[in-house]
Structures are given as structure tokens and as C-alpha cells.
């Protein structure tokens, strides 16, 4: 694992943007796994700037999003479809036919999940998977207890995640209780994973992920087994790491 500790969120976002930009420049037809949540927003802002100012070309990339709420239509303002188009895809030159986001309204969810797995395979597998982390150590919507070998499927969200997400909905009762999510095994098949953790709400999850035992109770701990896991955290998220000073510390430029 390559762990880099940065002073703050902006610095993590700068570094993440460098990594993703470099991936797309080196391999214009990269398959990129995108994540939602507030954490990658700084990264997406920078990718949009790199497209506008430096011509970063997204036209040949293929994208797969990690997850989507079950029961929200793509135009619902809390759906992950809406999130991705509003915060990234609408502002760069992605080719819509190459964009994949799980369908929260699929009639046959199981068949959809199988199809999603096949599409990832047909695309040649994911080159770089971007990941946030839940306060309880979930990745995508693989909640504690998720099989570490799991594939794309429907999951019930935990009370903690429902509470964390309630702030985005006018009425907490509207928060979807289920999601379609890539499995932990699907994520581990990516050739590289880039996990971002920022703020004090992530300190315990980052400590468990980097220094705890590998356990299904903290699904993010599986990244310890990945051959190319790159973890970017800020001082707040890194606050309780025992090997804190062994990890790279990057000073502001």
C-alpha cells in the first residue's frame, strides 16, 4: 500500500487529480471506476478544469460507477446518476455510450447485476478504481459484514449509512434502504485502487483500514491485499495512525 498523508482536503484533491489525469493521458482508452459522495468532488472539479484548460480528453474512456440507490430514477437529484452527470460527466467530453452506472430502477435487479459484471469484463476490466470510504469502513455500498469476495448485487444499507445520508434528503423517510453496488471482489479486480479519506468522520475507518486486521466488518480493510492500492488521506483522517510517521507526508507546495 502506498499511503500519502496531506495537510488537507484540497491537497488530497490535487494529488488525486494528478493521478487520474496521468492515467487518462498515458492510456486514453482507460476504464475508470468512479465514486460518488462528497469526498471525490474536489477531484472532479480539477478534472473538469484539466479538460477545459488543458484539453484532457475523456472521449475514449469507459466508466463504471460503484453503486446506485434502488428505487431512485436517474433524474432524481439524489441519485448517483444525477450526481455523476452534474458533478463531472456533463462538463467533460465523455462518450455517453461508454458511461455505466448501476440502474436503480432495473426490473430484474439480479439480471442487471450479472450484466454489469459482464460489461466490466468485456471492457477489459477496470484500470483505476476511485474509492471513498464510509464512516463505518464501507466501500461503495459494501456495508460491514459484506463478503470480501462479493460481486455486484443488491445490498441493504445499515442504520449508520441511512443516518449519514439522511442529510441529503428533505425527508429522512425518503432515504432509500437498498442499493446496487459493485462487490468487494469486483473492486479488488481493478488493476489499481485509489482510496481517498478526509476529515475527522473518517479517522476510525482509516485507522482500521490501514492498521487493523482484514475483516468483513470493515470492508475497506481488503485494500491491504491489493497489489496497487494508493491511499490519500489528510491530517484529520490520519490522526490516530500508529505508523503515521512511516507514511509519506506531503507539505503544501
Is 136 annotated as catalytic? yes
The grid coordinates of residue 215 equal 475483516
Q: Which is nearer to ligand GLP, 117 or 164 (CB)?
A: 164
Q: How far is the CB of 246 from ligand GLP (least distance, A)?
A: 25
Q: Is the Cβ of residue 67 or residue 127 nearer to ligand GLP in the bound state?
A: 67
Smallest separation (angstroms) from ligand GLP to the CB of 144: 12
Which of these is catalytic: 50, 65, 87, 136?
136
* Residue 185 Cα distances to 145, 146, 220, 234, 237, angstroms: 14, 10, 11, 27, 25
Measured CA to CA in angstroms, residue 253 lies from 7, 59, 88, 158, 196 at distances of 11, 31, 26, 40, 20
Residue 133 interacting with ligand GLP (CB under 6 A): yes
Cell numbers at 11, concatenated = 491537497
Cα 243 from Cα 89, distance rounded (Å): 38
Q: Which is nearer to ligand GLP, 23 or 39 (CB)?
A: 39
Contact 122, 159 (CB under 8 A): no
What x-and-dash track marks residues 33-72 binding ligand GLP by CB under 6 A? --xxxxx--------------------------xx-----
Place of cell 482510496: 195
Q: Does 117 bind ligand GLP (CB under 6 A)?
A: no
The binding track of 143-162 with respect to ligand GLP, each residue x by CB under 6 A or -, is: ------------------x-
One of 67, 68, 127, 164 is an active-site residue; which one? 67
β-pairing, 99-100 vs 62-65, is: parallel
Bridge partners of 223, per DSSP, are none
- Catalytic positions are 67, 136, 138, 143
Q: Which residues bind ligand GLP (CB under 6 A)?
A: 35-39, 66-67, 132-134, 140-141, 161
Amino acid at each position: 500500500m502506498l499511503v500519502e498523508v496531506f495537510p488537507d482536503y484540497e491537497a488530497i484533491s490535487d494529488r488525486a487529480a494528478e493521478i487520474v489525469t496521468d492515467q487518462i493521458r498515458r492510456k486514453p482508452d482507460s476504464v475508470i471506476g468512479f465514486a460518488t459522495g462528497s469526498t471525490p468532488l474536489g477531484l472532479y472539479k480539477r478534472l473538469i478544469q484539466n479538460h477545459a484548460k488543458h484539453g484532457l480528453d475523456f472521449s475514449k474512456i469507459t466508466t463504471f460507477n460503484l453503486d446506485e440507490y434502488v428505487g431512485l430514477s436517474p433524474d432524481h437529484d439524489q441519485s448517483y446518476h444525477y450526481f455523476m452527470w452534474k458533478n463531472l460527466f456533463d462538463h467533460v467530453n465523455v462518450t455517453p455510450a461508454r458511461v455505466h452506472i448501476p440502474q436503480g430502477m432495473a426490473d430484474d435487479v439480479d439480471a442487471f447485476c450479472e450484466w454489469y459484471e459482464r460489461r466490466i469484463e468485456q471492457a477489459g476490466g477496470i484500470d483505476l478504481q476511485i474509492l471513498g470510504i464510509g464512516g463505518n469502513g464501507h466501500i461503495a455500498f459494501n456495508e460491514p459484514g459484506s463478503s470480501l469476495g462479493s460481486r455486484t448485487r443488491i445490498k441493504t444499507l445499515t442504520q449508520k449509512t441511512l443516518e449519514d445520508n439522511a442529510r441529503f434528503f428533505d425527508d429522512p423517510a425518503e432515504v432509500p434502504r437498498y442499493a446496487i453496488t459493485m462487490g468487494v471482489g469486483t473492486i479488488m479486480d481493478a488493476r489499481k485502487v485509489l482510496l481517498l479519506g478526509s476529515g475527522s468522520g473518517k479517522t476510525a475507518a482509516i485507522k482500521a483500514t490501514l492498521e487493523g486486521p482484514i475483516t468483513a466488518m470493515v470492508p475497506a480493510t481488503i485494500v491491504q491485499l491489493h497489489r496497487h492500492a494508493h491511499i490519500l488521506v489528510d491530517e484529520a483522517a490520519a490522526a490516530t495512525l500508529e505508523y503515521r510517521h512511516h507514511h509519506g507526508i506531503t507539505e503544501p507546495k
